[in-house]
Amino acid sequence: MMWIFLGAPGAGKGTQAERLQQDFGFVQISTGELLREAMRAGTELGKTVQGYVTRGDLVPDEVVASVLQERLVRGDTGTGVILDGFPRTVRQAEILEEMLAEHCWQLCGVLYLEASEEVVQQRLGGRRNCPQCGANYHVVTMPPKVEGRCDRCGAQLVVRPDDTPEAIRKRLEVYREQTEPLVAFYDQRGMLERIDASGEVDEVYRAVKEAVSRRWQRCLEKG
Q: Which residues pair with 128 in a beta bridge?
A: 137
Of 123, 127, 128, 215, the catalytic one is 127
Of 47, 152, 160, 189, the catalytic one is 160
88 as an active site residue: the answer is: yes
149 as an active site residue: the answer is: no
Of 13, 71, 123, 128, the catalytic one is 13
Of 19, 91, 149, 171, the catalytic one is 171
Of 88, 91, 149, 209, the catalytic one is 88
With beta carbons less than 8 A apart as the criterion, state whether 144 and 150 touch.
yes
- Which has the closest alpha carbon to 122: 5, 12, 46? 12
160 as an active site residue: the answer is: yes
215 as an active site residue: the answer is: no
218 as an active site residue: the answer is: no
List active site positions.
13, 88, 127, 160, 171
